[in-house]
Each structure stands twice: as C-alpha cells, then as structure tokens.
Chain A
Amino acid sequence: MDWSVLFIGPPGAGKTGAIAAVSDIEVVRTEAVSSEKLGPGKSHTTVAMDVGAVSLGGGERLRLVGAPGQPRFDFMWDILLPSAAGIVVLVDRSRPDPAADLAYYVGQARSREGAVRKPMVIGVTHTDVAGPACALMQRAAWSGDCRCSECRPPMLEVDARDPRDVRVLLLALTAQLEMAHRFPSRHTQMR
C-alpha cells in the first residue's frame, strides 16, 4: 500500500506550500481561480488535490496529499482519508475565527470513517499576526476530558514554507504512528 499524509484545513492555511516545502518532486497541483476572497496575494485555490512525495529509501515512498479546503469539495476527503497514515490539520490564525476553523476541520476529520483513530497533528500558521491564544485554540480541537493524543493532538506553530517546521509536524505524526504500532491496544480514557 502506498501510504500518504493528508493535509487538510481552510483555504490559504498553507497546505500546498507545506507540501512543496518538503516534497522531493514538483508538486502536482490542481488549482483554479477562487470565486471566494482569499488572503492577500492569493487568487487560486486547490480544487481536487495537491500531491507531493518523499522517498524514504528501501523502495518506500510517502505521498503528501493536500485536500481542497472548501467544504463543498469535502467528498474528496472521503476519497483521500483511507490511504492516509496520518492527518495534518493546518489552520490560519489570521482568519476571522481560527478556533472555529480548527473545530470544524478536526471534527470533520475525526467523524469520517477513513480517519478514525489515525494520528493527527495540528499546525497553526500565520502566527506573526494577532490572533487567539493557542490555549483557546487547543480547546476547540480537543474532544472531551481524555488526555490521550488521539483526543488532544499536538498543536505546533509553523511557518508552512519552512521545511524545518514541516518536518517537525511530520515528526510528531511519525512518533504517534510508532507508538500506535508498538502499543496497538485501544486506549482507555486518560483523565
């Protein structure tokens, strides 16, 4: 099976840029002029998916797949989630209500059949502008009182254009994958 990491989040959060920052290949983009107002200097948005890849050696390859951000394209998420080893949720802190964005995208990812119990990491982009504190945003992403990493995924500040930051996102995801592989028993409530 060809494993992938799926990047989801609102338009303009930096999904395409994050994939391009670490991909070994030229990113295959499916962009079109957006009918919605996006961030400054951004006129195009992903309509199907972006695909990059990194070679792991030993004949293995990890695909980096960016899903379209607009909810009207959410059927693509159902197509892309089953082959995803993990999920990166990127949110743009400069948008009007990033906590609501976060709750929406994390909730969508968690509620879809193909994403149940898959490791997740949250990247907060555009942190150079004023926005809600990370603690407020964390509460939007957390589900219930359980403290396990499935219910409270890691949240990192990232510059989506910086390969180092994107690698650390993937590192947090990989560490969770390792533990899920080594300790596969279903987690109990960690309160």
Chain B
Amino acid sequence: MNPAPTLEAHQACSAPATRRVELLDQELLRLRRWPNLTRLPPDVDVGLAARICALLGRKPTVGFLVARMLDLPHARVAPQLAKLRAMGCIDVVGAAVPLPAQEPPLSEPPSKALPDGRFIALLWRLLTR
C-alpha cells in the first residue's frame, strides 16, 4: 500500500481537530512508523502514543475501535490519534469495513515465551508513574 498522499496529509493537519477526529474514526488505520518517543512534542502523551503504535503495528484497526481496544475513553484517544497521524506515523489504509464490536476469540493462546498480563501491568505502572 502506498503512503498517504501529501495533499491528504495536509488536509488532515489543517482541518479543525474535531473534524480530524471524525475523519479517522471511520478509517482503517495502520502504523506507518514509530515516532521518536523520547523527543515528542509536549502535547503528545508518550505512554498513550506507545500503546497506539504498538496496537496499530500489530493489527490495523478502525479508528473508533482503537480506544475500545486500549480500554480508554474515546475522547482521550482520538486527539492523540490525530496528532500521530499529523506527524506521519499513521497511515489510512482505506475505508473501514464493518467489524464486530467484540474481538473474535483468540486463535492462539498467549505465548509462554512472554510475561503474563499481571507482570506487564505492573511494569507499565512502574514506568508511567
């Protein structure tokens, strides 16, 4: 898939924030590149940006589902999505196709080569406090 056209990126950047959010809500989003997380502008939430990029770098996701998958309010996630998009980190892959509200059952159990969810949650809490 080709990168998003420059004009589209310009339009996304110059549109009012609420309009940009609405635009992304209905789009299938995919990570284009990780931002330089250590040198982000102050209005970007580093932890949230990392989680959004990790999600979209693992599975392309429709805009309005990103917040649900991160277990966070849409109002908190949408502006950060728009900022990452304006920074060129997120590609719009295409129009969203209808998806079920719930994730389908996992096709594989979590890998035993990775820590469990409790360990990850504790580590996350330590790093973000």
User: Which of B13-21, B32-40, B94-102 lines the interface with chain A?
Assistant: B32-40
Assess the A147–B111 pair: CB atoms within 8 A.
Answer: no
Q: Does A175 contact B (CB under 8 A)?
A: yes
Q: Does A180 contact B (CB under 8 A)?
A: yes
User: What's the tally of chain B residues with a CB closer than 8 Å to chain A?
Assistant: 44
Interface residues of A in 145-189 (CB under 8 A from B): 147-149, 152-158, 164-165, 167-172, 174-187
Classify chain A: how many residues form its interface, as a range.
35 or more
By beta carbon, the residue of chain A nearest B34 is A154
Which of B46, B51, B115: most chain A Cβ within 10 A? Answer: B115
In the complex, chain A residues whose CB is within 8 Å of the CB of B108: 184-186
Assess the A191–B1 pair: CB atoms within 8 A.
Answer: yes
| Given A149-B58, A168-B37, also A174-B1 (CB < 8 A) | no
| Given A158-B38, A177-B120, A179-B55, also A3-B115 (CB < 8 A) | yes
Interface residues of B in 100-122 (CB under 8 A from A): 103, 106-111, 113-120, 122
Choose among B33, B37, B103, B113 the residue that contacts A171 (Cβ–Cβ < 8 A).
Answer: B37
Choose among A56, A154, A169, A180 the residue that contacts B119 (Cβ–Cβ < 8 A).
Answer: A56
Q: Does B54 contact A (CB under 8 A)?
A: yes
Assembled-state Cα–Cα distance A174/B124 (Å): 7
In the complex, chain A residues whose CB is within 8 Å of the CB of B117: 178, 181-182
Assess the A85–B122 pair: CB atoms within 8 A.
Answer: no
Q: Does A57 contact B (CB under 8 A)?
A: yes
In the complex, chain B residues whose CB is within 8 Å of the CB of A179: 51, 54-55, 57-59
Assess the A181–B120 pair: CB atoms within 8 A.
Answer: yes
Assess the B128–A190 pair: CB atoms within 8 A.
Answer: no
Interface residues of B in 46-64 (CB under 8 A from A): 46-47, 50-51, 53-55, 57-60
In the complex, chain A residues whose CB is within 8 Å of the CB of B39: 156-157
| Given A156-B38, A178-B124, A184-B110, also A85-B115 (CB < 8 A) | yes
Q: Does A60 contact B (CB under 8 A)?
A: yes
In the complex, chain A residues whose CB is within 8 Å of the CB of B46: 168, 171
Choose among B54, B114, B116, B118 the residue that contacts A175 (Cβ–Cβ < 8 A).
Answer: B54
Query: B residues within 8 Å of A by Cβ?
Result: 1, 30-34, 36-39, 46-47, 50-51, 53-55, 57-60, 69, 103, 106-111, 113-120, 122-128
